Amino acid sequence: MTEQARPSFIGARVKRLEDPRLLRGHGRYVADVRLPGALEVAFVRSEMPHADITAVDAGAAREHPGVVRVLTGSDELVAGREIRGDWRGEIWQTSAQPALAGDRVRFVGQPIAAVVATSRYVAEDAASLVVADYRELQPLTSARASLSDGAPLLHEGWTRNFFRHSHFLGGDPDAAFAAADGVLELRTATQRQTGMPLETRGCVADYDVVSGSLTVWMTNQMPSVVRTSLADVLGVEENRVRVVAPDIGGGFGVKAYLYPEDVVVCLLAMELGRPVRWIEDRREHLLAAIHARQQEHRVQVAYRADGKVLAIRAEVLVDSGAFSVHPWTAGLEAGNALSLLPGPYTIGDYECDAYAVATNKSPFGPVRGVARPAAALSTERAMDQVARATGLDPIEVRRRNLIDARDCPYTTVTGNLIDSASFQEALDRLCEVADYPQLRRQQAEAREAGRLLGIGVACYAEQGASGIHEYLRRGMPTIFGYETALVRMDPSGKVLVEVTTHSHGQGHETTIAQVVATRLQVPLQDVRVVYGDTSRMPYGMGTFGSRSIVMAGGAASAAADKVRLKLEQFAAHLLEISADDLETVDGAVRAKGAPFRSIPISELARAAYHQPHRLPQGMQPLLEAVSTYDTERGTGTWTNACHLALVELDPGLGLLDVQKYVVVHDCGVIVNPTIVEGQLHGGIAHGIGGALLEELVYDEWGQPLSTTFMDYLLPSATEVPRIEAHHIETPSPFSATGSKGMGEGGAIAPGPVLAAALEDALRPLGEVVVTELPLTPERVLRYVDEARGAAADASGDR
Amino acid sequence: MSERVFRFRLNGTEVEGRAEPRRLLSDYLRDDLGLTGTHVGCEHGICGACTIHLNGRAVRSCLLFACQVDGAEVRTVEGLADARDPLSPLQEAFWEHHGLQCGFCTPGMLMTAAELLETNPDPTEGEIREAISGNLCRCTGYVFIVDAIRAAADKLGARGAERQ
């Protein structure tokens, strides 16, 4: 029988195995964990962006009926409990975030006290009785202000207000600029946004005083890593710490940290010897969960008259907030922006300075896309301006600059190794499926009728499944370069898989099962995938950075292969045939070319456990294997995509109506197209929110103004259009399954796509360059005015 | 604080409840009755994760006090299909069309969609989008949710036609 005849679940639109429990309301999230005798915590948070705490009066709170403990920042219990995340680069300044601030606060929302009571209602009542006195210090509310001369220094021992400064020089930008036919300059800006999962953070800690063991249920995307971090900060032996990350209501990067609140909840449970529970509310989430995305770029672009971009010089300022987060550091977004700004293009001469600047705002960390939305805004807006300057179509400019897929593996100017791609093909396909010429005709007709339609396009390469090599190169303190899987076939032949990634929407219970069922040739329903409990699972890194199908899929595939090989060796012994002459197909191990000589897997499994005397000499009973996995060169995989949108602008209201959104996407071998499409839709919706609606606004005194869902607008079903997704499958030569990571990509392009579409829509009114996101009605109206002003200037009637 | 006593029907069963006047219905259902299918996403009435049915209408349980359900008929996601029964046609359609990812908004989304289909059995895509615009989902981009609700309408419509 040929290889193709083996049943394969790869590429099948399998319904998700996790869904029935979630649809019935039987998921188990952290807030659903109820332990007898549990106490509840409410945090008291700083109202000041930058101040010395002169006194905290917790007397009334302590006397409030039902209050068990009030903990303040000066309490011995939290002394020295600090969270650090230090980038291992040349120019780095450290910070230490206290579990509770004792003497100084550095952002509004920073926890300064915790009240423990018999119920959350009582804890919140008492928390409101805690009064802090402050001596105010000058708040630093923008990256520019922080870097200005005379700005107060945010942390002790600092020389200027940045965590990280990186300089990159590749090729010879000076020569390229000198030889260019034209040079243009752009200043782009993206504002503070965040992942905003529908489930807030939460932590339930239970300490067994007698055994000294601590169990913590947490909303966390990386249970193994956070277990180590907790053990370090708490001073508890790690083999006595169990972290359980049960069902989680979305992460998007926001739940991939050790937070101060986690430390405080655990310390309280350990001191009180009773379970302690904290479920964050949405206001706290907006104030004190990590923020992301706020960047300012100054970009100079050298180009040739034929549309070829020769060189880029850039300065990147990231408003990175008050503290460096653990384990990602405050430097990641600045580093990614520097590394990825040249985009999927053959730009060989590049210079960049990137700063992770400290400000008096909530700490900053990686969120879906991590710097790529801001980097793509600069790169793609640059392509559009080159198109305008050269008179070429924006699609044609991209075509002339995209990396030729035949050159892959291709090393970019910043040293990124793009494993394989279909850049040109994807762009051609986009023009075809969106019928680009027809869209242009439609736009022209609409303009005739006085309607403002605009078309925007963007391309990107999405770095995913970063491995050992990549995290070393980035200077991360922890090298997140692998994932792990345990595959256990039980005596009945059913399979349990433990993966170290965490699934909170991504569908690992299904896709990893598809991979394992295919490798082991067992029915899909015989494979159960679990995750999220460090007392059971092997050690691994977690879910982030578009990695799971490659890394966990690779590990599960490798562990399944070990189990299959063992089955085959066992069968070889029983059948008295060389294992080389056996194959595993559709539930049985059988002789190649003589399928009637076969043993069902279920029979082998039972014997491997219950009839150990039948095993060949030296073979141990049990059928289980653990395997770690990294991509072949540790450089990861690169998904590529092109997005196109058609919008209509209402110039009176400043509203953009997204009428069409098309994406052509290549993430290599697709394990489950439905799940890939769901991830794409979600990423694009996230990106549309980022492009049009979402903004964490701070006023000039450092007070956050976006503290409810009335202020921070998430896209709803009436803002997100029907998204059309088309696939190309260029297998990755570096991943075990040929798949590439793709969870974040959708969020990268909508910003530049919609900025370009607005600029295009405005063209009949006048020429402007749209460089600032999000395109809230206020900003859009400013661009409308600017366009009209530009037209008036051009006609000289001002 | 003194407790209030109230009586209501919950997923078809009579309940005698007891709670402080200020206790939110969402907290009461989840923490006192253990019906944790109703999720709490914002506690200020925007996200829709806590949506339940009160006398047949979709409402936000985080904006109601528990004692306000006195005399009412309350239905939560657990009432859409008994745990031992097959999924309801609406739940089935969400499964079939990948209308959920992390599952956190899902109970509220289902309750809103159930109300829509009870009041408008044949909604257009625009009507579906309008109806669920008060239920935020961060994972799906809504495309497959809309497809699922439309498919459920077809399925329920076909069943209705069979009965006639």
Domains and CATH numbers, chain A: 3-26+482-629 (3.30.365.10), 402-461+635-798 (3.30.365.10)
Q: Could you give the CA distance from residue A731 to residue A669 in angstroms, rounded to a whole number?
A: 5
With contacts defined as CB-CB under 8 Å, which chain B residues touch A34?
31, 34
With contacts defined as CB-CB under 8 Å, which chain A residues touch B105?
198, 249
DSSP state of A604: H
B41 with A196: Cβ contact below 8 A = no
The tokens of A434 are what? 């969106």
Residue segments in chain A with a per-residue pLDDT below the cut of 50: 1-4, 798
- pLDDT for the residue A5: 65
Q: Could you give the CA distance from residue A646 to residue A660 in angstroms, rounded to a whole number?
A: 5
Q: Give B93→chain A minimum CA distance, Å.
A: 10
Q: CB-based contact (8 Å) between B86 and chain A?
A: no
Q: Which amino acid is at A140?
A: L
- pLDDT for the residue A90: 80
Residue A682, C-beta contacts closer than 8 angstroms, at least 6 positions apart:
A505, A746, B101, B138, B139, B140, B141
**A741 φ, ψ (degrees, to nearest 5):** -65, 145
With contacts defined as CB-CB under 8 Å, which chain A residues touch B3?
none
- Fold classification of B89-163 is DNA polymerase; domain 1 (1.10.150)
- pLDDT for the residue A797: 53
- pLDDT for the residue A2: 42
Alpha-carbon separation of residue A258 from A268, A628, B45 (angstroms):
16, 24, 29
Query: Of A232, A238, A243, which Cα lies nearest the Cα of A80?
Result: A232
Could you tell me which residues are beta bridge partners of residue A649?
A452, A656
Residues in chain A: 798
Q: CB-based contact (8 Å) between B31 and chain A?
A: yes
With contacts defined as CB-CB under 8 Å, which chain B residues touch A686?
138, 141
Of A248, A714, A717, the CB nearest to B102: A248
Alpha-carbon separation of residue A762 from A268, A444, A504, A617 (angstroms):
58, 13, 40, 78
Residue A457, C-beta contacts closer than 8 angstroms, at least 6 positions apart:
A394, A395, A398, A430, A642, A643, A644, A753, A756
Q: CB-based contact (8 Å) between B21 and chain A?
A: no
Of A247, A504, A682, the CB nearest to B141: A682
Residues in chain B: 164
Q: Could you give the CA distance from residue A521 to residue A7 in angstroms, rounded to a whole number?
A: 7
| ipTM field | 0.98
A59: number of Cβ within 10 Å = 12
Q: Give A286→chain B minimum CA distance, Å.
A: 11
**Beta strands per DSSP E along A687-732:** 723-728
Mutate to test the interface with B, among A15, A19, A221 (most CBs of B within 10 A): A19
A198 with B98: Cβ contact below 8 A = no
Asked whether A310 and A302 are in contact (CB, 8 A), the reply is: yes
Of B110, B128, B136, the CB nearest to A716: B136
Nearest CA in chain B to A710: B46
| Count of CA atoms in the C-beta half-sphere (13 A) of B85 | 11
CA of residue B104 relative to chain centroid, distance: 12
Mutate to test the interface with A, among B74, B78, B143 (most CBs of A within 10 A): B143
A572-611 tens-digit pLDDT: 999 999 999 999 999 999 999 998 999 999 999 999 999 9
B69: number of Cβ within 10 Å = 26
Q: CB-based contact (8 Å) between B20 and chain A?
A: yes
Asked whether A222 and A544 are in contact (CB, 8 A), the reply is: yes
**Beta strands per DSSP E along A85-181:** 97-98, 104-105, 111-117, 131-136, 162-170
A76: number of Cβ within 10 Å = 7
Residues carrying CATH 1.10.150.120, chain B:
89-163
Q: Give A661→chain B minimum CA distance, Å.
A: 12
Query: Of A323, A317, A456, which Cα lies nearest the Cα of A374?
Result: A317
With contacts defined as CB-CB under 8 Å, which chain A residues touch B127?
none
Asked whether B134 and A714 are in contact (CB, 8 A), the reply is: no
Say whether A418 sits in a helix, a strand or coil. Answer: strand
- In the block, tokens 């005849």 appear at A5
Q: What is the DSSP string of A478-505?
A: S----EEEEEEE-TTS-EEEEESS--SS
With contacts defined as CB-CB under 8 Å, which chain B residues touch A249?
39, 41, 102-105
Say whether A555 sits in a helix, a strand or coil. Answer: helix
- pLDDT for the residue A1: 38
Tens-digit pLDDT profile for chain B (164 aa)?
Answer: 689 999 999 999 999 999 999 999 999 999 999 999 999 999 999 999 999 999 999 999 999 999 999 999 999 999 999 989 999 999 999 999 999 999 999 999 999 999 999 999 999 999 999 999 999 999 999 999 999 999 999 999 987 776 65
A25 with B37: Cβ contact below 8 A = yes
B145 with A717: Cβ contact below 8 A = yes
Residues carrying CATH 3.10.20.30, chain B:
4-79
Q: CB-based contact (8 Å) between B148 and chain A?
A: no
Burial of residue A124 (CB within 10 Å: 0-12, 13-18, 19+) is middle
| Count of CA atoms in the C-beta half-sphere (13 A) of A559 | 32
Mutate to test the interface with A, among B92, B142, B145 (most CBs of A within 10 A): B142
Q: Could you give the CA distance from residue B10 to residue B136 in angstroms, rounded to a whole number?
A: 25
Mutate to test the interface with B, among A13, A15, A18, A22 (most CBs of B within 10 A): A22
For domain B4-79, give the CATH number: 3.10.20.30
Q: Could you give the CA distance from residue A156 to residue A414 in angstroms, rounded to a whole number?
A: 33
